[in-house]
Amino acid sequence: MAQRIGSSAAGTIGAYGREGRPSRRQKGGGVIKAVRAFIVKALSRIDFVYLVTGFLLGRAVILSSLTPFVLPFFAMVFWLKREKRWLVSFAALAGSLTVSVGQAFYALMALLVFLGLRRMILSLSRKAEEKWLPVLVLTSGFSVRLICKAAFSLNLVWTDVMTAAAEAFLAFLVTLIFMQSVPFLSTKINRKLLKNEEIICFVILLSSILSGMIGWTVMGISVNYVFARYAVLLFSYAGGAAIGSTVGVVIGLILGMGNVSSLYQMSLLAFSGVLGGLLKEAGRAGVSAGLLIATLLIGLYGDGYAGLSGAVLDSLAAIALFFLTPGFVTERLASFIPGTREYQKEQQQYIRKLRDATVSRVEQFSSLFQTLARSFYPPAEQESREEDLFLSKVAARTCQNCFKKEHCWVKNYDETRRLMLQFREASRGGRKPNNPKLRRAWREHCVKSEKTIEAISIEQIFAEEQARMKRTVKESRRLVADQLSGVSQVMGDFAIEMKRERGLHEWQEEMILMNLNGAGIHVESVEIYSLEAGAVDIEVILPSDHYEACEKVIAPLLSDILRENICVEKKQTADLPGGPSRAVFASARAYEIEAGVATAARGGGFVSGDNYSLFEIASGKYALAISDGMGNGERAGMESRDTLQLLTKVLNSGIHEKLAIKSINSILSLRSTEEIFATLDLALIDLQDAKSTFLKIGSNPSFIKRGNGVIMLDAANLPMGMIENFEVEVKTEQLKSGDLLIMMSDGIFDAPRQIENKEAWVRRKIREMQTDDPQAIADLILEEVIRMGDGRIEDDMTVIAARIQHHMPKWSSISAGIKEKELRRAE
């Protein structure tokens, strides 16, 4: 106990000093943090950046007399920063006063005229202010400059009018530029990604601010030159040579307009931006070396050797500021410049956040649908409770006023219950209980035996009707629950697919890039998203796709490297001529289906009650379906067509085929009270392993010809829509390359009426076929059936023949000499 108290006291003394007060170090650190927080808070509250900007723009003068910056800045302040407009405006007026009284007078008059016109326009129109703001600046600037000229010279000439017009139009353009760039002065920028035009507008704003520093010198160092070169260093280091040279040209041009004698600074800054951007891979030292080289080369053409020392000193000061700049500043700046790694990182982060938000929302919906599915599943009912309820109803009708009630239901409860339940069982289905032994036993037990038997029969009829309704509701609830569960599963799988990140395949990408370049195909980049067998996903960017190089060279080369067939899934050419092309390569299907169809309407008409559909679903399966509507004609065709349309949409949504069939059956059975039904013969063939699933709803057998043998697939399900609840019988069969699948409607199968064993006859006809062309087989079967009917077509006829074969690429592989294990070793 003493040790604990001592250690606690020692810790307290160490933290607060020997007298229980905070130590000097902690007091000093707390004071520094408090002062820093106070300064940051104060600067943010008074908008220090806007104050400095306004002061410098008030001082900015170009071409010795034009000031096109202060009035647009007033307009931006009253448009964006209304709560600080007067303080910031006074800062701009103070900056103008440091230049001359005339400059201050012009700024004050511009502010007053602008406010007067703005109030007048706002009283007349409440439209968006940004639409008429540049025109208001143009009008205010032109009128104020004429007023100032008249007030100071008392004599206006046409050159004064031209100067005022030029200044006003410059102010008009500067207003348009400031509208895109002034909002970026805020410490909080809502937009993370900027356009190139917005960046250039911000650079022009920065140049305008720097022009307000013209004339400032500290120990022989020109402040505006230092900050101009410092800005070029920052942009070169963040954005590269293109951005650096652009910033240098813009800043140099505006500074040169402010001081015509230093127009050569534009060349120096532009050359510095180019060199600095080219040497940015060497870090800050390389960018700084680019500035020094440009200063030594271009400085000689400016002021000669006499001014070279001053130019070098300005560059060294800019380099010192550049090295003192924290790294997060340059990273933040680079994140706004398109084309940089930081910009791409910001984009990827934004896309990742958007994807995560979407995945979260999809998962929430998936969980919601799963919860709804559980709530719709019917609860289990206890049989004993249902029997007790039945007996209580019978007893209420017969035993309530009977004098032997206590004898039957208290003393002999078990015997009474047993006999009444036996009568109930004998009365099921509307039957009359005619068991003499049971009747004799009940007469001996009950004084109202006939009345009780009649009541049991009546209650049993009601109970059976109620049970039928309960079963209908129960099956409907189960169907809804299954559908909701299927939707939940689809959404859950979609969320999992969206979560899949781009894998780290740097080594494989370099190896593929090396082999493509070695084959003479110049490729800019290779990005591997998946190398999973059967689900390969590779994106290649190349300068141009001349002579179908993607299909002829790249796809075969990737097929040889990955040891599986690769095809071009998507190809996108550049919008501009000569731009890069983008191609996506994916795993080709291992098998392909070639199908042929032959149809005929009843009596040789144009409208058939049969419909068929051949389509590929997103899960890599190929579907072949025949639907035969009940009867013939337009109504039967509409029923079969609607069935196939529902089937296509439901299967493409990703719902399992058994649930899809049940859902379609429920829709068809509830849609109409008429006895309109449709059969469905569906075959789903997996294009990767040729495993096939067959679902037959009231349809005829299907046949598989393999070599000289014929396999028959049959099922016994009623047509769709005939009953509300049924179990779908599914059959699976492993197909092989070269197999022929033949599916037919009942018009084909039942047409030869004189033949007793139709299955054997169809098998023999298929076996005797000498061709393996699917279309020819379908035509021959239809022709043979019509011949057997003496040319009469008594029912709608449809036959589908499909051949399964290995998928062969269009172009042969180009050997790359790479083993599959080496490529996948990083997996």
Residue 584: strand pairing partners: 539, 570
Q: What is the mean pLDDT of the chain?
A: 77
Helix axes 758-767, 774-788, angle to 10 degrees: 140
802: nearest Cα among 608, 543, 593, 514: 593
Non-local (6+) Cβ contacts of 402 within 8 A are: 408, 447, 448
pLDDT band per the 50, 70, 90 thresholds, residue 378 = low
Reading the block at residue 650, the tokens are 């439901």
CA angle 719, 724, 726 (to 5 degrees): 65
d(Cα 730, Cα 693) in Å, to the nearest integer? 7
Query: In the predicted model, is pLDDT for residue 22 greater than 50?
Result: no
Residues 129, 132, 136, 138: is their CA dihedral positive or negative?
positive
* Residue-wise DSSP of 302-368: HTHHHHHHHHHHHHHHHHHHHHHS-HHHHHHHHTTSTTSHHHHHHHHHHHHHHHHHHHHHHHHHHHH
User: By percentage, how much of the chain surpasses pLDDT 70?
Assistant: 79
pLDDT one-digit tens code per residue, 98-157: 888 888 888 888 888 888 888 888 777 666 666 788 888 888 888 888 888 777 666 777
Query: In the predicted model, is pLDDT for residue 802 greater than 90?
Result: yes
Q: What is the per-residue pLDDT for 116?
A: 86
| Higher pLDDT, residue 795 or 4 | 795
Q: What is the per-residue pLDDT for 780?
A: 92
Query: In the predicted model, is pLDDT for residue 574 greater than 80?
Result: no
CB atoms near residue 260 (< 10 Å): 10
Reading the block at residue 384, the tokens are 């004993």
pLDDT band per the 50, 70, 90 thresholds, residue 589 = confident
Query: In the predicted model, is pLDDT for residue 801 greater than 90?
Result: yes
pLDDT one-digit tens code per residue, 301-356: 766 666 688 888 988 999 999 999 888 888 888 877 777 777 767 776 777 777 77
pLDDT band per the 50, 70, 90 thresholds, residue 7 = very low
d(Cα 319, Cα 231) in Å, to the nearest integer? 10
pLDDT band per the 50, 70, 90 thresholds, residue 30 = low
pLDDT one-digit tens code per residue, 186-221: 645 545 556 777 788 888 888 888 888 888 888 888
* Residue-wise DSSP of 359-412: HHHHHHHHHHHHHHHHHHSPPPPPHHHHHHHHHHHHHHHHTTT-TTHHIIIIIS
pLDDT band per the 50, 70, 90 thresholds, residue 774 = very high
pLDDT one-digit tens code per residue, 683-718: 989 888 888 888 888 778 889 999 888 998 886 655
Non-local (6+) Cβ contacts of 744 within 8 A are: 626, 700, 702, 762, 781, 797, 798, 799, 800
Query: In the predicted model, is pLDDT for residue 518 greater than 50?
Result: yes
Reading the block at residue 589, the tokens are 């299907």
pLDDT one-digit tens code per residue, 627-649: 887 777 788 888 888 888 888 88
Query: In the predicted model, is pLDDT for residue 14 greater than 70?
Result: no
User: By percentage, how much of the chain surpasses pLDDT 90?
Assistant: 6
Q: What is the per-residue pLDDT for 68?
A: 87
pLDDT one-digit tens code per residue, 173-186: 988 888 887 776 66
Alpha-carbon Rg for the chain, nearest whole angstrom, is 44
Query: In the predicted model, is pLDDT for residue 10 greater than 50?
Result: no
772: nearest Cα among 706, 693, 684: 706
d(Cα 692, Cα 504) in Å, to the nearest integer? 35
Query: In the predicted model, is pLDDT for residue 11 greater than 50?
Result: no
Averaged pLDDT, 670-685: 69
pLDDT band per the 50, 70, 90 thresholds, residue 446 = confident
Q: What is the per-residue pLDDT for 2?
A: 37
Q: What is the per-residue pLDDT for 316?
A: 92
* DSSP 8-state code for residue 575: S
Q: What is the per-residue pLDDT for 803?
A: 93
Residues 397, 400, 402, 406: is their CA dihedral positive or negative?
positive
pLDDT band per the 50, 70, 90 thresholds, residue 15 = very low
pLDDT one-digit tens code per residue, 466-506: 777 877 777 777 777 777 777 777 777 777 766 665 555 66
Query: In the predicted model, is pLDDT for residue 789 greater than 80?
Result: no
pLDDT one-digit tens code per residue, 723-771: 555 556 678 889 998 999 999 888 888 777 777 788 888 888 898 888 8
